[in-house]
Amino acid sequence: MSGCPLDSNKVAAPAQAATAPVPAQALGANASSFVAPTGSASGPLARASAPIERGSPSAQPLASARGAYNDANADGRSDLVWAGDLSGLHVAHWLMNGNQVMRTLNPTPMAADSHVISTGDFDGDKRVDQLWLRLERRGGSLTLGRLNEAGSYEHRQVAGIGDGWLLDRSADLNGDGRSDAIWTNRTLGRMAYWLMNGTTILSSGVYPLDVNNYALVAVGDFDGDGREDLLWRGRQNSAYYMWRSRSDGHFDQSYVGTVPAGWVLDAVVDLNADTRSDLVWTNRDANQMAYWWMNGAAPQRTGVIGADTERYTIAAWGDFDGDGKGDLVWATRRDATAASLYLWRSRGDGSFDPSFISTYDDSVWQPMPPYADA
């Protein structure tokens, strides 16, 4: 398709699948070398101001309210979202079934000076949306980009944004199946959230926060209660803390652990289909990937796998085959002549089945990250 990141003339021969970035087996000797230590430390949470009432709980069980991550057509399988520069910023989608690209949706132009901030399902239709920020002289304006049932991309205004506020992440904080917006302001030392229904802000809350020493790095439902939680990292010591989202609009803070130098948190996905989000790390110097199966703030199982992290990076994650287990998509690091995508399909036992997806033109297109600093 013209203008699409998929180049049908560059589909690899079957032999190329052997160049996948990972062997399927885990490195047993290293399986215990990357585990969060026990202990305690001060964390980012300050005394909270009372948030606005969240309203009535969802009528359906919370843990089943959300669809697959980055699902563009509500079929229960994750899809790939792309951002590209085609005489201006454009968005495109690949509809996936495992490692097969079933269909591509035409690129849609975005407004000049727009920047994607976060992806999520803000209207609860189980189709992926994006929040776009357009910078202005003072503050900015926030726009929701959503795919409708016909596969067309729509733009809708959400709100104006004041100076100093950064949309850090989106997460379903109240378990209603809709993503919510999470903001930080380093000047004011505040964290805020907006509970969303499409472009409507249902309610909000504000918390004092030590934003100079802690950064929000990930979101996920780490305890499987249907409400997504926040993961913070110390800027100086790489200590990680979880804020467990509560039904009353507050958070319970727990220490997770301090991570050794060289390890980077690259993905948050449910690898073993237990409804709890897990952590995926990479170490480029060691050519390794590690996973933590989580139960709240406690890693229940860890493993380390050899991976060619020198040439490949995790570009996306989700459940691409609809089996309930989260998968990883690897992309070659920037190489305009031979950019390739590979799928690691999770087996649910700590190992993965690697398979080739496609090549693409990375001089124009990049897989869209789930948030701006991914």
Burial of 193 (0-12, 13-18, 19+ CB in 10 A): buried
Rounded CA gap, 10 and 249, in Å?
50
Q: What's 230's domain CATH number?
A: 2.120.10.30
Residue 3, domain member (yes or no): no
Query: Three-class SS of residue 196?
Result: strand
Q: What is the predicted pLDDT for the residue at 54?
A: 32
List the pLDDT tens digit at each of the 374 positions of the chain: 334 443 333 332 222 333 334 333 333 333 333 333 333 334 454 333 333 333 333 333 344 456 788 999 999 999 999 988 887 888 899 999 999 999 998 888 887 778 888 899 999 999 999 998 887 766 788 999 888 888 788 889 999 888 888 888 999 999 999 999 999 998 988 899 999 999 999 999 888 888 888 999 999 999 999 999 999 999 888 899 999 999 888 899 999 988 888 999 999 999 999 999 999 999 999 999 999 999 999 999 999 998 999 889 999 999 999 999 999 999 988 765 668 999 999 999 999 999 999 999 888 888 986 654 44
**Within 13 Å of residue 151, how many CA atoms lie on the same side as its CB?**
12
Helix and strand element counts for the chain (H, E): 0, 24
202 to 17, 122, 206, 220: CA distances (angstroms): 47, 12, 14, 21
Q: How far is CA 267 from the centre of its chain?
A: 7
Q: What is the predicted pLDDT for the residue at 337?
A: 60
Residue span of the structural domain in which 25 resides: 8-367
Q: In what order do the strands lie in the sheet with 214-220?
A: 214-220, 229-234, 239-245, 251-258
Residue 25, domain member (yes or no): yes
In total, how many domains does the chain have? 1
Predicted structure pTM score: 0.84
Residue 2, domain member (yes or no): no
